[in-house]
């Protein structure tokens, strides 16, 4: 039996985790370099900041109870988490905002100030629920501020109203993981009969009840007696991911057309790594950089 990692280490993911973190870090380096001479206060915002390190591990405890098998056979290794990677970016950001709801993981983030003493006074760590923290932040004034935000939920925690608040700032570039295979595809049942709590969760995450019509098709099926009966056809994961991308495109200045598909070692899609641009004036440059990174991350 594979031993559990110490409690100070966050267990989750495999090679796809490394690719996700590397992609975001590459963008952050390009972002601060491009804006270093601009008169903006630059923020990095991580609303699921977790712990300073991630240990990739088979059957991570976060996934196993709900979706067994998704992370089986993944290699075990220690990875620097998104918070530490952001703090290594040069030139640095002016402020780092780390939100984490979990009490222990939030406390562990305090180690970052000791590990990065030159940036200690720029680090803000708050124990808060992500949706509430982001909406409060986005409601503030954004004149003279720009930000890159990374939303890396474990499942379906990010609500569409939160993404709308981010887009409304017209100042935030967003990297977000959409839980395509690890959650959404599992709730979209083949029969089309979805329990009310599941439908409510999908409504919150997708911001509308219209997803049902987009994800299901009723087709006639001939019987032996010459009449037709209705058959429900469930959308493919490609259709589901495309729906989310179109929703992003409706509220942001620009959206990467081809999110990176993050798969486990068995080739099962877990997440889509999506990118959206907040400020219209920076759309062309941001998309060119992000699209290049996403192509290499898939």
What are the pLDDT digits (tens) for 138-197? 998 999 999 999 999 888 999 999 999 999 999 999 999 999 988 999 999 998 999 999
Higher pLDDT, 117 or 107: 117
pTM of the model: 0.84
pLDDT score, position 80 = 76
pLDDT score, position 222 = 62
Summarised one tens digit per residue, pLDDT across range 252-262 is: 999 999 999 99
Whether residue 57 is preceded by a cis peptide bond, meaning omega within 30 degrees of 0, is no
Q: How many whole angstroms separate alpha carbon 285 and alpha carbon 83?
A: 24
Q: How many whole angstroms separate alpha carbon 199 and alpha carbon 57?
A: 31
**Nearby residues of 291 by Cβ (< 8 Å), 6 or more positions away:** 256, 257, 258
Q: How many whole angstroms separate alpha carbon 78 and alpha carbon 18?
A: 10
């Amino acid at each position: 039996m594979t031993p559990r990692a110490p409690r100070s280490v966050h267990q989750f993911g495999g090679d796809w985790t490394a690719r996700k973190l590397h992609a975001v870090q590459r963008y952050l380096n390009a972002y601060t370099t491009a804006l270093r001479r601009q008169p903006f206060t630059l923020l990095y915002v991580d609303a699921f900041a977790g712990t300073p390190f991630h240990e990739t591990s088979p059957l991570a405890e976060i996934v196993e109870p709900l979706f067994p098998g998704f992370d089986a056979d993944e290699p075990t290794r220690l990875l620097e988490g998104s918070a530490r990677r952001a703090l290594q970016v040069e030139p640095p950001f002016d402020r780092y905002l780390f939100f984490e709801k979990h009490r222990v993981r939030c406390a562990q983030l305090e180690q970052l100030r000791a590990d990065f003493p030159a940036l200690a006074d720029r680090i803000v760590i708050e124990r808060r629920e992500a949706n509430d923290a982001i909406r409060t932040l986005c409601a503030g004034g954004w004149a003279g501020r720009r930000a890159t935000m990374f939303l890396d939920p474990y499942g379906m925690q990010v609500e569409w109203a939160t993404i709308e608040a981010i887009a409304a700032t017209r100042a935030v570039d967003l990297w977000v993981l959409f839980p395509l295979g690890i959650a959404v595809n599992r709730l979209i049942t083949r029969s089309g009969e979805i329990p009310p709590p599941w439908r409510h969760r999908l409504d919150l995450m997708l911001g509308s009840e219209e997803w049902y019509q987009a994800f299901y098709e009723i087709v006639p099926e001939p019987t032996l007696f010459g009449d037709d009966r209705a058959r429900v056809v469930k959308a493919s994961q490609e259709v589901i991911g495309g729906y989310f991308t179109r929703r992003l495109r409706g509220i942001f200045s620009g959206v990467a057309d081809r999110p990176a598909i993050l798969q486990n070692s068995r080739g099962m899609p877990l997440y889509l790594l999506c990118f959206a641009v907040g400020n219209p004036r920076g759309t062309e440059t941001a998309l060119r950089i992000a699209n290049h990174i996403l192509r290499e991350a898939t």
